[in-house]
Amino acid sequence: MKILANDGLAQSGIDALQAAGFEVILTTVAQAQLENYINKENIDVILVRSATTVRQELIDACPSIKIIGRGGVGMDNIDVEYARDKGVHVINTPAASSHSVAELVFAHLSGMARFLHDANRNMPLEGESNFKGLKKAYAKGTELKGKTLGVLGFGRIGQATAAVALRLGMKVVAFDPFIDTTSISLDFFDGQSIDVTIDTISKEDVLKQADFLTLHVPAQNEYVIGGKEIEIMKDGAFIANAARGGVVDEVALVAALESGKIAGAALDVFETEPTPAVQLLMNSKLSLSPHIGAATGEAQDRIGTELASQIIDLLK
């Protein structure tokens, strides 16, 4: 059987699939050429990340496809229900990248709390000529310990992010329409662990309490954070979005940054990805990264292993 990993696959996944007798093809086929390639090569499984889409037309045109796999959590680039209605298995790896995303969120939050995102821009330009001026400009940082992290979306990634916050000594408040309470296990290097129970509260209460707000929600038809929600938040709060572009109203966010209502924001995803708005790229109160939440070697190894395991279970 043939597997097309159109957006790449970690060596861990390749090795496991080849050991099970599958042929793994790592060719990156252009979206417009996928139908012809899949049918010509009689592909049984297509694996994608966020670059390749698998829509109804492709599913209908490629009857050899038995499994569509998404290396990651969100599957908004796949017509999931349609594929399943046609008898095609759709799989993903919801747990594999959780901790990597959580660490990226805190890389952004920690950096913003101490102005590192802006200092890293200006030190190369002014570090030699204006060291004292920069020191004064960045001398009013804040600690994360003792602050409140608000989490919107309390699934695997939201809970992993909460676990990092708890280890830092933060209070965690969370909202999720499908979760009332959950227990988070804090595992330490020496084998010890502590379980912390968190009861979710209303979205409005999370917004009111959060010093730092992080979003871990799927793609939505409406903004999760817009002007109305920002007004509810504390003055001087911070926002991080490493979920999906389009869940934060970027125009309202920039306005809140300019007014000082929001002290800083971190974006790993964008409404107009892969061409973020210039007003975002040039804003000194924004900490930015190019959609790299799951882009660690460890996460990709876990993704490869999980995808391989599911494929083998389904087809062997």
> Does 74 have pLDDT greater than 90?
no
**CB-based contacts of 38, cutoff 8 Å, min separation 6:** 4, 46, 58, 62, 64, 65
Local confidence band at 137 (pLDDT 50, 70, 90 cut-offs):
very high
- Beta bridge partner(s), residue 68: 46, 90
Token pair 């965690």 is found at 172
Rounded CA separation 63/288 (Å): 41
Pull the structure tokens for residue 233: 């938040």
Local confidence band at 95 (pLDDT 50, 70, 90 cut-offs):
confident
Question: Strands 181-187, 2-5: parallel, antiparallel or unpaired by DSSP?
Answer: unpaired
- Which residues are catalytically annotated? 244, 273, 291
Local confidence band at 35 (pLDDT 50, 70, 90 cut-offs):
very high
Q: Looking at the chain, list the stretches that DSSP marks H as alpha helix, in order from N- to C-terminal side.
A: 11-19, 34-41, 56-61, 80-85, 98-113, 116-126, 131-137, 156-167, 203-209, 227-232, 250-259, 278-281, 297-315
Local confidence band at 209 (pLDDT 50, 70, 90 cut-offs):
very high
Rounded CA separation 263/142 (Å): 11
Share of the chain above pLDDT 90, in %: 95
| Residue 78: DSSP 8-state | B
| C-alpha dist (Å) from residue 27 to 7, 83, 144, 216, 276 | 8, 23, 44, 32, 28
Rounded CA separation 66/274 (Å): 30
Mean pLDDT on 80-94: 96
Lowest mean pLDDT among 25-34, 70-79, 122-131, 162-171: 70-79
Pull the structure tokens for residue 32: 């417009």
Q: What is residue 298's predicted lDDT score, i.e. its pLDDT?
A: 96
Local confidence band at 295 (pLDDT 50, 70, 90 cut-offs):
very high
Pull the structure tokens for residue 90: 């759709």
The domains of the chain, with CATH numbers, are 2-93+297-315 (3.40.50.720), 98-288 (3.40.50.720)
Local confidence band at 102 (pLDDT 50, 70, 90 cut-offs):
very high
Q: Please, what is the Cα angle at 13 between 12 and 16, to 5 degrees?
A: 90
Chain centroid to CA 269: how far? 8
Share of the chain above pLDDT 70, in %: 100
Rounded CA separation 266/126 (Å): 24
Mean pLDDT on 177-195: 95
Local confidence band at 52 (pLDDT 50, 70, 90 cut-offs):
very high
| Residues 216 and 224 sit within 8 Å (Cβ to Cβ) | no
What number of residues does the chain have? Answer: 316
Average pLDDT, the chain: 96
Chain centroid to CA 245: how far? 10
> Does 313 have pLDDT greater than 90?
yes
Q: What is the CA radius of gyration of the chain?
A: 22
Rounded CA separation 253/262 (Å): 8
Token pair 């099970």 is found at 20
> Does 186 have pLDDT greater than 90?
yes
Chain centroid to CA 190: how far? 29
Rounded CA separation 158/165 (Å): 11
Rounded CA separation 310/40 (Å): 25
Mean pLDDT on 266-286: 96
